[in-house]
Chains A and B, each alone.
Chain A
Amino acid sequence: MSETIEIRWHGRGGQGTVTAAKVLADACLSGGKNVQAFPEYGPERAGAPLRAYNRISTKPLRIHCPVTHPKIVVVMDATLIESIDITEGTPDDAIFVVNTHKTPEEIRKKLKLKDTQKLFTIDASTIALETIGRPLPNSCVLGALTRASGITDLQTLLDDVKGSFGSKFSEKIITANLEATRRGYEEVKEG
Chain B
Amino acid sequence: MSKKLSTTDAPVKDAAVPMVKAEGVHKSFGHVDVLKGIDLEVRTGEVFCLIGPSGSGKSTFLRCINHLEKINAGRLYVDGELVGYRQKGDKLYELKDSEVALKRRDIGMVFQRFNLFPHMTAVENVMEAPVQVKGVSRAKARERAMQLLERVGLGDKAGNYPSQLSGGQQQRVAIARALAMDPKLMLFDEPTSALDPELVGDVLDVMRDLAESGMTMVVVTHEMGFAREVGDSLVFMDGGVVVESGNPRQVLTDPQHERTKSFLSKVL
Q: Does A associate with B in a complex?
A: no
| Residues in chain A within 8 A of chain B (CB atoms) | none
| Residues in chain B within 8 A of chain A (CB atoms) | none
